Amino acid sequence: MLGECLSVIFPFAILGLEHATIRMNKINQITLILLTLLFSCKSENEISDVDKFTGRWSLHVVEIQMDSISPWKPRQGHYKNRKGFIIYDGRGGMGVHHVTENYDTYEFEGSGGLDSLTRRDLRHLADNFVYFGRYLVNDSLGMVEHHIESTNFQNMWGTVAKRKYVFSGDTLTLNPITNRYPKIRLKWIRLNDE
């Protein structure tokens, strides 16, 4: 490599400094372009982060961290053993839905219809978390934005939920971005729908 560089540079010294400078500038420009292309190319087998999101994911665990030095632990209370799904369609559409552990086996106290729901029934329904919208992936920041278009919580309509993300094998970890503690993260397992 060094010999090749010297064989290019040495003749320029003979031709004169002015011509050498012009040629070196062109060589430097070409070298810069080639290096940029080389380092910006991805392997054919490497999957982009946008493509990694595509598919259905099942909620594995919701974890909490109380402060910067505390370990992550499974959340308790109404977030203990939550279950649900998040779906990314690969074309910019997404949806998420998760519920409490025994949400599907709950027996309503009311006899039917909204007017008959008890306070306990309403609390049960409030543990149902769902939204739909568009998503954008910023792989350089490791962040996905959920642009919420429809949700069961009125104050979330039209907002953007930003999440840091990490892929590890078949696990997707999403951390809602916040500057406060406690912090939470949700771990999702890819479903094999083939």
Task: State the pLDDT at residue 79.
Answer: 81
Residue 97 and residue 21 share a domain: no
Residue 73 and residue 35 share a domain: no
Residue 57 and residue 28 share a domain: no
Residue 185 and residue 137 share a domain: yes
Burial of residue 34, with CB atoms counted within 10 A of its CB: 0-12 exposed, 13-18 middle, 19 or more buried: exposed
Burial of residue 100, with CB atoms counted within 10 A of its CB: 0-12 exposed, 13-18 middle, 19 or more buried: buried
How many alpha carbons fall within 13 Å on the CB side of residue 152?
12
Residue 166 and residue 77 share a domain: yes
The token pair that represents 3 in the structure block: 């010999």
Residue 116 and residue 27 share a domain: no
The token pair that represents 1 in the structure block: 């490599």
Residue 21 and residue 105 share a domain: no
Domain count, the chain: 2
Task: State the pLDDT at residue 98.
Answer: 95
Task: State the pLDDT at residue 111.
Answer: 82
Residue 80 and residue 18 share a domain: no
**Directed axis angle between helix 17-40 and helix 2-15, to 10°?**
150
Low-confidence ranges of the chain (pLDDT < 50): 1-15, 17, 20
CATH number at residue 136: 2.40.128.280
Distance from C-alpha of 67 to C-alpha of 55, rounded to nearest angstrom: 33
Does residue 161 contact residue 149 with C-beta atoms inside 8 Å? no
Question: What range defines the domain where residue 22 resides?
Answer: 2-40
Residue 165 and residue 92 share a domain: yes
Task: State the pLDDT at residue 80.
Answer: 87
Residue 74 and residue 13 share a domain: no
Tens digits of residue pLDDT in 19-36: 545 555 767 777 656 555
